[in-house]
Chains A and B, each alone.
Chain A
Amino acid sequence: GQQLNQSPQSMFIQEGEDVSMNCTSSSIFNTWLWYKQDPGEGPVLLIALYKAGELTSNGRLTAQFGITRKDSFLNISASIPSDVGIYFCAGPPPGGAQKLVFGQGTRLTINP
């Protein structure tokens, strides 16, 4: 099935650094979602975006709905150890409103 292209696949950073990751699609999406998954747990919804150009924050996290509607970005400022995990982008595909397609995830590792 359709997937979203998420990059980078992994990141190794120092505590306190800012993080940027993005997600692209060949199709237009009307909703973009960002999830975080801690090791051994289910994904947790961080931010939902519904409008092209929208910029939404959740604490140190900021996500943007790309103006072309084919991409989205997630930034984490001043990373801390509990930010470690896998970040997934997701969205309902064209014509498949109840389902989601997911990116492959960005694995974030933080060196203290």
Chain B
Amino acid sequence: DVKVTQSSRYLVKRTGEKVFLECVQDMDHENMFWYRQDPGLGLRLIYFSYDVKMKEKGDIPEGYSVSREKKERFSLILESASTNQTSMYLCASSLLVGEQYFGPGTRLTVT
């Protein structure tokens, strides 16, 4: 079975802090994704990566950056957290076109 893990299930940070969210997949997938999920807005793609050191902006990249130094690991960085970044963050990976496998999510609260 594909396993996608995220470093924290719950995280509380203060406004202005730098925040790192880590995601690791164990199935040698090429593609990795970061989404945020908010009530009424569904799943929105922040960034994705189709290879090591490669990244592409999704629909809402502002205020975020990413890093992919190793194939199995994809990090989401909030350079200066703000309250409007309070959300559920979901990481996913895929090998085939379409089929993405999600991690359990990180619920981030910025106060």
Contacts and interface: CB of A to CB of B under 8 A. Distances in A.
B97 A98 contact: yes
Task: Tell me whether chain B's interface is mostly helix, strand or loop, or mixed.
Answer: strand
A43 B103 CA distance: 8
A99 B105 contact: no
Contact of A92 (B43, B59, B98, B101): B98
A42 B103 contact: yes
Interface residues of B, number: 23
Contacts, number: 55
Task: Tell me whether chain A's interface is mostly helix, strand or loop, or mixed.
Answer: loop
Interface of A: 1, 3, 31, 33, 35, 40-45, 48, 88, 90-92, 97-100, 102-105
Interface of B: 4, 31, 33, 42-43, 45, 48, 50, 58-59, 90, 92, 94, 97-105, 107
